[in-house]
Amino acid sequence: MFSPAAAAQDEVNEKGGFGRFAQLLLPLEYTNWVEENRAHVQSCYIGDWTSLNKVSVRGREALKFLAWAGMNDLSRFEIGQIRHHIQLDENGWIASEGVLYRLGEEEFVYTAGSCDWLCWQLSRGNWDVEIADISPETFIFGVQGPTSLPTLEKATGESLRDIGFNRTRPARIGGAPVRVLRTGISGELGYELHGSADDANEIWSAVVAAGEQFGIRRLGFRAQPVQHIEAGIATNGLDYLPAAIITPGAPRQFRRGSIGGSFVPAQGITDYFRKPGELGWGPRRIPPHDFLGRDALLAEPEPTRTLVGLTWNRTDVAEVLTSMLTGEELPEQMELPRRLGPSFDQVLFAGNPVGVSTGRTLSANLRATISLGVVDRRHAAPGTELIIIWGRPGTPQRRIRATVTELPFKPDNRRVDVTTL
C-alpha cells in the first residue's frame, strides 16, 4: 500500500496525510502545496511516480509488436531513446499511452497508468514476444526543475550533460544502479530515476541530501498533478478516460472514485474518450506503418475539436471561493489546488455547448485558476471568451467566464541545452 521509499518519506511527513495514487498511498504534503507547486519553477523537486505500471517487453518481434500496438513511427527508434507511445483501439480512441524506452535490440520498457491494454493485445496475437510485469520491483522518482541537473550530478558524482531530451542511460547513486531518463512532465528541465525497489529509500534520501544546496523540495501528492495543467499535458484518467476501460484490456484501471463536474455525457461513456488529434498528439500525416486503429483514423476527417488552455475569470472564481462567507446559496466548493480525481465541466459559447474543461487547478506559479479544454476549433482562438458551468448537476451551479489561452501556460523549458549551463 506504500511506496518502497515510504520509510524515507515518512520521516518528514509531519502532517500525516496520504493520497491514493493508483494502488499506493503517498504523503499529501511535506510542507504545503503552494511551496511544493512552485519548486519545479524556482528550484527542483523530488516526487514519487512508483504507482505507474511498468512492463519489460522482450523478444525477436518486440519492436514489430510495439510498432503495431502504437501509432508512433518506431522505424528510427534508437537504443537509449524515449518515445511517447500512444495506443489506440479499433475505433481510433486512445486506449492507453505512456513512456516507452529502448534498452537493446530486442528489449524495451513501457511505463503508464496501466499496461493492461498492451498485455491484452499481446495475448490476442501470435507474437514472438515476452512481457513481464516489473512494477513491484521498480521505483520511479521524478526530479524536475532548473536545479534538477546539478542535484543529480552531485548525487551520481558524474556529468549527466550527455543525456539529451527524451534520452536515457544508466548511472549509479551511492553505489546502487539507476536509470536516468530526461523527461519533461513539468514543462521544465527534468529527469526520472528508475531503479530497484530495494534501493528506493537510500536513493530518495541521497537525492534529497544532494539537492539541499539547490533548494530541492519533496513533492506531495496534493500538488503533484498541477504541473501537468501548467505544461498543457492531458493526463490519462484525469483529463480523459481511456477507451480500454470498456474492454477486458483494463481490469485494474479506475477501480474506485467518481467523475466530478458539470458535464453530462449525451452519448454515454464515449463522451469521455478522446482521439489523439483532439489532445494535440495527432501527426500531420498518419504514419504509413500498420498499427491498431489506423483504418479508423484514415476514415475520419480532421477532428473538429482541439486542446486549448482556459484561464478562469478571477472575480467569478473568487465569488465561489468566498461564498462560504456570505448568506447566498452555497455552490459546490473548489478543492485546492485541484480535485484529486477526474472532473469534466461543460463549456459554452453563446449558451451552446462547445466543449469540455478538465483539470481545473489553482496555480501558485501563474497566480491564476487554469484548466485544459477540448473545444470546437471555431472557438479555439486565444482570447476567445467562453463560459464554464461550475458545479455538479443538482447543485447551485455558477457560470464562470474563461479565456482561451495558448498552451503551454508557461514557457516550455524541457529541451534546454544543458551543455551551456
Does residue 287 register a pLDDT over 90?
no
How large is the average pLDDT for residues 390-409?
A: 97
What's the pTM value of the predicted model, to 2 decimals? 0.96
Whether the CB-CB separation of 414 and 187 falls below 8 Å is answered with: yes
b/e sequence 350-362, b meaning 16+ C-beta within 10 Å: eeeebbbbbbbbb
CA 72 to chain centre: 18
**CA pair distance 165, 408, nearest whole angstrom:** 18
Give percent of the chain above pLDDT 70. 99
How large is the average pLDDT for residues 354-362?
A: 98
Identify whether 27 is preceded by a cis peptide bond (ω within 30 of 0).
no
**CA pair distance 276, 273, nearest whole angstrom:** 10
Does residue 253 register a pLDDT over 90?
no
Q: Residues 367, 371, 372, 374: is their CA dihedral positive or negative?
A: negative
- Cell output for 32: 504545503
193-204 pLDDT, tens digit each: 999 999 999 999
72-116 pLDDT, tens digit each: 999 999 999 999 999 999 999 999 999 999 999 999 999 999 999
199-244 pLDDT, tens digit each: 999 999 999 999 999 999 999 999 999 999 999 999 999 999 999 9
Looking at every residue in the chain, the average pLDDT score rounds to 95
pLDDT bracket for residue 286 (50, 70, 90): confident
pLDDT bracket for residue 54 (50, 70, 90): very high
